[in-house]
Amino acid sequence: MAIRNNHQKSRGLWNTRFGFILAASGSAVGLGNIWKFPYIVGQNGGGAFVLIYILCTIVVGLPIMLAEFTIGRKTSLNPVGAFQSLKPKSHWVKIGYMGVLAGFFILSFYAVVGGWTLAYVVKAFTHTMSNFSSPKEAGQFFGSFIANTWEVLFYHALFMAICVGIVLRGIHGGIEKACKVLMPTLVIILIFLMFRALTLPGAMEGIEFYLKPDFSKIGPQTILIALGQAFFSLSLGMGCMLTYGSYLPEQENLTSATVYVVIFDTIIALLVGMVIFPAVFAMGLEPTEGPSLVFSVLPAVFVGMPFGNLVSIVFFTLLAIAAITSGISLLEVVVAYFIDQRKWDRKKAVLVTSVTIFAFGVPSGLSFGVLSEAKLFDMNFFDHVDNIASNYLLPLGGMLTAIFVGWVWGTKSAEEEIEKHETKFHWGHVWGFLIRYISPVAVFLVFFAKFV
């Protein structure tokens, strides 16, 4: 016990349960909720997709998140160290390495988009975007911005620097403190935006599209997209939640924390829809635009609405905050590996990894400008890194984590950890069933659907 406590103290611990829940929610709520979710809903027929997404979150996402938290708290280690300590020298340790690698890859392009959000906050402040006459014009503006080498690199570096500034200060003093300020700010901003959007004339049409399920638009492909999105949005499959769980003291209740984080992430995604669809429909535009929905349709939407410039500043600040609290969680996974396994001090780990991740991200940043012609199989560098990490490493990692907990380490050992300090785990058998049978099979289907 004493050894464990000393080890834990030297790595850092969350100060309060609430702080941990905010930090984990901060990791989950990110570009996935605000940038990706609305355009995916827009492309996949609205309400019916939302229902399927919620189902995937509960049936697959929730059990895997609890599994990650449990491994993390049990071992108090980074993903590599955690699998190493539960099954020493086995092939399962590779799940941990895959996770750290995925964290490295995801942050390298996530920070590029994070940089775009910072740039848009500045552009909104300086009224650079207040005279678009059509979404087409806003789209051209976005296109020429992301092609501008120096501007993109500057904001990309700025985003990394902000993450570094936070992660350098450690778990309690850095990540927890930052999330305690940023997450409530995010919620307040979102409520403000929702009021603005819902009081626009014509808003109801958007709400109808968003909430009225039309099952004719649902096919097998839709389910796969929903499951992939649930994974990414909940930060699962690469040991991110595992790492955050490793800073938890023993007496915390893991099941209720999992439920809070999942509910929070889902509610935020749903509320973002309540902002974007009413606004898009009220301005007579289409929500089927795809990835450029947030960066090129919304600025045009804001121009046409009362207090549009303020709304624009506030919206992109929301996007930037969400990206930062997720970026730090990705960086922390890589940093924790070097601290625990390589015995580096935090400062060295943060500086070396972040500079390397930034350097690796540069070709992603330039993928829409000078490197836009550098394509392999019709995808640029950015697309490739995103594809390898999000479509291969994450689902594979999630599926193997579920199999590991369900069949190798065993649900019994996991439940023992969950029930420590007399914590009741009422739905233990349901969870055991989901993690052994449902989650691995569901992820397997998503994964192999890519090949057929």
Pick from 20, 69, 104, 232: which binds ligand TRP (CB under 6 A)?
232
Q: Is 255 in the site for ligand TRP (CB under 6 A)?
A: no
Comparing CB distances to ligand TRP, the nearer of 329 and 439 is: 329
How far apart CA 346 and CA 365 sit, in angstroms, is 27
Task: Give Cα separations from 85 to 81, 82, 197, 239 (angstroms).
Answer: 6, 5, 50, 15
Number of H helices, E strands in the chain: 23, 0
Least distance between ligand TRP and beta carbon 102 (Å) = 7
Tell me the number of residues near ligand TRP by CB under 6 A: 17
Least distance between ligand TRP and beta carbon 186 (Å) = 13
User: Can you spell out the DSSP letters for 103-152?
Assistant: HHHHHHHHHHHHHHHHHHHHHHHTTTTTT-SSHHHHHHHHHHHHT-HHHH
H/E run at residue 69 = helix 62-75
Q: Is 33 in the site for ligand TRP (CB under 6 A)?
A: yes
Pick from 13, 28, 67, 293: which binds ligand TRP (CB under 6 A)?
28
CA nearest to 271, candidates 193, 353, 185 = 193
Comparing CB distances to ligand TRP, the nearer of 210 and 231 is: 231
Taking CB under 6 A as the criterion, which residues in 374-413 touch ligand TRP?
A: 394
Least distance between ligand TRP and beta carbon 203 (Å) = 26
How far apart CA 56 and CA 4 sit, in angstroms, is 36
Pick from 233, 246, 317, 439: which binds ligand TRP (CB under 6 A)?
233
Pick from 32, 170, 273, 395: which binds ligand TRP (CB under 6 A)?
32
Is residue 164 within 8 Å of residue 351, measured between CB atoms? yes
Binding mask 175-214 for ligand TRP (x = CB under 6 A): ----------------------------------------
Pick from 100, 240, 313, 393: which binds ligand TRP (CB under 6 A)?
240
Q: Is 226 in the site for ligand TRP (CB under 6 A)?
A: no
Amino acid 53 reads Y
User: Can you spell out the DSSP letters for 19-48?
Assistant: HHHHHHHHHHSSHIIIIIHHHHHHHTTTHH
Cβ neighbourhood burial of 219 (10 Å; 0-12, 13-18, 19+): exposed
Comparing CB distances to ligand TRP, the nearer of 117 and 233 is: 233
How far apart CA 372 and CA 381 sit, in angstroms, is 9
Binding mask 99-138 for ligand TRP (x = CB under 6 A): -------x--------------------------------
Q: And the tokens for 323?
A: 């990206």
Least distance between ligand TRP and beta carbon 134 (Å) = 29
Which residues of the chain form contacts with ligand TRP (CB under 6 A)?
Answer: 27-28, 30-33, 106, 232-233, 235, 237-238, 240, 326, 329-330, 394
